[in-house]
Amino acid sequence: MATHYYTVTWDQLHRDARALAWRLMERGPFAGIVAVTRGGLIPAAIIARELECRLVESASVVTYDEEHRGVPSVTKPPTAAGDGTGFLVIDDLVDTGATARVLRTLLPKAYFACIYAKPAGRETVDTFITEVSQDTWILFPWDTEPQFIAPLARRTAP
């Protein structure tokens, strides 16, 4: 269970994905992008637009069930990417690096990038934008919804 939570808004995610694209420009051009589902889909779409990359493949590696980590399982391999030559792999977050390690065996020549990185997985990606502590659970905008909260003055004191 996470000790800390870090909420990412749509605006912040978009800014961070564009910052990652900016950093990746000097590495390109790329033949294609592999979006790691599900979290990497939206960042990959933003980065594909910014880098003017039209070929977007996906790879699905199931590692989590809510906040519980399991054994990584490839449910959809990135077939169009071959061995990864000229491809960019995009994910939202690297946590322990388990997903990246699995994908590196499938795409040994790809360049790996993510928006957010935790210390235990940082070494498994080639670049990232923001580091968070290992005990932080990132709440992405697709995992949350805005809701009304009563003003403090209306709440009953404990």
What CA–CA distance (Å, rounded) separates 47 from 43? Answer: 6
3-state helix, strand, coil in the chain (%, to 5): 30, 35, 35
Residue positions counted in the chain: 158
On the question of a cis peptide bond just before residue 108, with omega within 30 degrees of 0, the verdict is no
**Helix, strand or coil for residue 80?**
helix
Cα distances (Å, whole numbers) of residue 31 to 17, 75, 80, 104: 19, 23, 11, 17
What CA–CA distance (Å, rounded) separates 93 from 124? Answer: 11
Q: Known catalytic residues?
A: 91-92, 95
Q: Are 110 and 138 in contact (CB under 8 A)?
A: no
